[in-house]
Amino acid sequence: MYQKMKGTYDITTEIQYFHAVEKAIQSVSRLFNYQEIRTPHFEASELFHRGVGEDTDIVGKETYDFKDRGGRSLTLRPEGTAGVVRAYIENKLYAEKRVPQKYYYYGSSFRYERPQKGRFREFRQFGVEAFGAKSGELDAEVIAYAVTLFRALKLKNFIVHLNSLGGKDSMSRYRKALKEHFKPHLDKLCEDCNRRYETNPLRILDCKIDADTKPFKKAPKSIDHLTDEDRKHFDTVKAALTAMGIDYKIDHSLVRGLDYYTDTVFEIKDTSAALGAQDVLCGGGRYDHLVESLGGPSTPAVGFGIGIERLIIALQAGDFPVPEPSVHVYLLTLGEEARIEALKIANMLRLGGISCETDFLNRSMKAQFKQSTHHNARFVAIIGEEEVQNQTVNLKDQKERSEETLAVQDLYNAIYEKLTGKQDDCNDCEHKKGE
């Protein structure tokens, strides 16, 4: 028997959570005026090596790299930003008159890492990218976007962690301070940290092995090395968050795991303990040099990414109500003619937006009633030989415990009015004709 690959999973009973999250994403994105963008699942490997960073764990240890039949080096996308930036440049989206240009994406990403709770080798990621404005207010709006999504999903136990790395000058100062600080302790640090010391000392702070050691706890703080301009930008972010009523916590150890970040970086962490050590629901920040480094015009940008699987674990531990699968009407049939009639009626109702199910196994009346319960049907429409001849339907309302006989041509109106509390005035539509 074939089995799924390690680090992947089938979405079965949890699909209602995915649908709820996707619906919330679309609604909140509309509120913040972000347009959806879809990019390929694989790109040229060089895109991620240059964009994400050679010295990151993602590129160094976790990417799915392969060669196609033409000998080209390709990589399954490990995150969404690099592909969106490539599309932004290639399609000249920077020429659009709407500034900033705002996009969101949703889809699978792939990382070869040890599977654990909320972390898989194929995972779904939602993210947003806003291009064209070097604005602390925009940074704050992007954070508000994520917070609004979590609130829409009725999450309560989360907190925004905030930090600033500053721009090129600030980061140069900070790297120098980190190297001076960690130099006497290199013999006590792990192999990865020693490598990062030479290539990118900021990555040392991303270490999970040495994070609780004394040198880490006493490491220099990035905000102490900001230029006046970068400090002003960060102050604007904080003021805007406060104005919007969004609480935050300054986290001096926060650097994020990708090389392209500058200035504002943030994470939104779950505080309910549902996720254990994997408590980051959302991570993002500003990346003002990535577009230019990948061949585009100098363009400031800011965004975030959310792992959907981790988010759903938090939803399952919270108060988010997910409805069970259901249909509006179950058409119960007695006899061959009735089964054909039921298909005709079901098609009529479906054209008007009313969901239907019927029997295909020639089951008994009792068994069909049981099926209507399994489908959580509000209405049961009974059709037998007499109903076929008279062009009527016996309609049972399971919610109101009522029953009535209706002409087929009146069935749609009766159901629509009970579901919505109002009448449908579209008298010429196909679903109203009953023929």
How do residues 380-435 score in pLDDT, each as one tens digit?
999 999 999 999 999 999 999 999 999 999 999 999 999 988 666 555 555 555 54
Quick one: angle between helices 336-351 and 408-420, nearest 10? 50
Per-residue DSSP letter, 210 = S
Domains 15-159+248-317 and 329-433 alike in fold: no
Q: Are 121 and 111 in contact (CB under 8 A)?
A: yes
* Range with top average pLDDT, 11-15, 56-60, 97-101: 97-101
Rounded CA separation 58/63 (Å): 6
Domain 15-159+248-317 class, CATH top level: alpha beta
pLDDT at 186: 80
**Residue with the larger pLDDT of the pair 196 and 386:** 386
Rounded CA separation 400/418 (Å): 10
pLDDT at 56: 63
Confidence bin at 15 (pLDDT 50/70/90): very high
Which residues sit opposite 217 in a β-bridge? Answer: none
pLDDT at 165: 92
**Residue with the larger pLDDT of the pair 34 and 192:** 34
Rounded CA separation 75/55 (Å): 16
pLDDT at 257: 65
How do residues 44-54 score in pLDDT, each as one tens digit?
999 988 867 66
How far from 201 is each of 62, 212, 416, CA to CA, in Å? 20, 17, 64
How far from 419 is each of 214, 328, 358, 414, CA to CA, in Å? 63, 9, 19, 9
Q: Where in the chain are the domains?
A: 15-159+248-317, 329-433
pLDDT at 113: 84
Give the neighbor-by-neighbor strand order of the sheet with 262-270: 35-36, 101-110, 122-131, 301-307, 280-286, 262-270, 158-164, 248-250
How do residues 319-374 score in pLDDT, each as one tens digit?
788 878 899 999 999 999 999 999 999 999 999 999 999 999 999 999 999 999 99
Task: Please give the CATH topology (third level) of the domain spanning 329-433.
Answer: Rossmann fold (3.40.50)
pLDDT at 213: 77
Q: Is the pLDDT of residue 114 over 90?
A: no
What is the pTM assigned to this prediction?
A: 0.87
pLDDT at 273: 76
**Residue with the larger pLDDT of the pair 351 and 257:** 351
How do residues 202-220 score in pLDDT, each as one tens digit?
777 777 776 777 777 788 8
Rounded CA separation 94/424 (Å): 45
pLDDT at 202: 79
Which residues sit opposite 128 in a β-bridge? Answer: 104, 304
Confidence bin at 188 (pLDDT 50/70/90): confident
